[in-house]
Amino acid sequence: YDDRDGKIWLDGKLVDWRAAKVHILTHALHYASSVFEGERCYGGKIFLGHEHSKRLRFSASELDFEIPYTAEDIDAAKDAVLQANGFTDAYVRAVAWRGAGQEMGVASSRNPVHLAVAAWEWGNYYGDAKLKGAKLDIARWKRPSPETAPVHAKAAGLYMICTMSKHEAEARGCSDALFMDHRGYVAEATGANIFFVKDGEVHTPLADCFLNGLTRQTVIKLLTEKGIAVHERHIMPEELDGFEQCWLTGTAAEVTPVGQIRDYRFEVGALTLDIMDTYEKLVRS
Ligand code: PMP
């Protein structure tokens, strides 16, 4: 991804794609002092763009730093990047981090905070899983307790175990891994939230120790508007056996059906197809 034509917004300027670099002694590279957003632009408009800008600032505040740009400035930076690269349908990545400067220990309050925005074209996150349903493994790592990490931030450090779990899942022929949380309840996948269907009602893990995705919140709203009961609650892994349908939600994943989690199988059923379609129409409206 570093060797392309195009422009990236870096600290207030559009720079050439290949020139958008950081120094080796960047604090974030050593200590994970970085937060980011993943957004999608549909037909020239970023879905929930302003909410993503606000979440980026919130994530930074959870990591005890402040992004030197307002949410409106971040919105404008994203628009500038899309325009400079001529994209109307693209994935947008904003990232903020503690840079290199006065300090190179764990503390970094005297180092500058940087912000960058890039965008690229990104098709289906799980490939052809939208048709057949994704196959998931179960991660051996657990989502941490809110007493252990800033679990509601979209922080780079929380993705260390995501990358490891996703690699292990892929090595086993799966598209992704499902995490349990620190108590053993079903939590989320490495970059998406999860939903289940049983007897016409929807069940989804309570977002009390992981990212409460904007797509998750959107899908809960859409289901509620359709008059479908949604239960946000603690889900035990033993319950996987009784669910009929399952899907993942995320900005990149959108709504992707799940066909299998280890030996548990799910059908790509009518409600799954309906919510995929409703979500697709909403983001493009
Ligand atoms: N959980 C994790 C770990 C994620 O990376 C994502 C993607 N940002 C989500 C959930 C879904 O969040 P959203 O719907 O806001 O993209």
DSSP string, 138-149: EEEEEEPPTTTS
Q: At what angle do helices 49-62 and 214-225 cross, to 10 degrees?
A: 130
Best substitution site from 91, 180, 193 to test ligand 1's pocket, by max atoms within 8 Å of Cβ? Answer: 193
- pLDDT value at residue 179: 98
Q: Identify whether the C-beta of residue 11 lies closer than 8 Å to the C-beta of residue 100.
A: no
Please confirm, yes or no, whether 132 is among the known catalytic residues.
Answer: no
* CA distances from residue 250 to 9, 62, 111, 148, 186 in whole angstroms, order as listed: 24, 21, 33, 24, 17
Nearest to 132 by CA among 247, 215, 40, 216: 247
**106-119: pLDDT as tens digits:** 999 999 999 999 99
Structure tokens at 101: 């400067």
Kindly state the tokens that stand for 26. Answer: 């960047």
Domains and CATH numbers, the chain: 7-120 (3.30.470.10), 129-283 (3.20.10.10)
pTM score > 0.80 for this model?
yes
CB 272 within 8 A of CB 197: yes
Instruction: Return the percentage of the chain with pLDDT > 90, whole number.
Output: 98
Q: Whose CA is nearest to atom 7 of ligand 1?
A: 191
pLDDT at 217: 98
Residue owning the nearest CA to atom 5 of ligand 1: 191
Q: What is the interface pTM, i.e. ipTM, of the complex? A: 0.99
Cα separation, 192 vs 18, in Å, equals: 30
All residue ranges of the chain with pLDDT < 50 are none
- Catalytic one among 154, 166, 221, 226? 154
Q: What is the pLDDT of residues 117-140, one digit of tens each?
A: 999 999 999 999 888 999 999 999
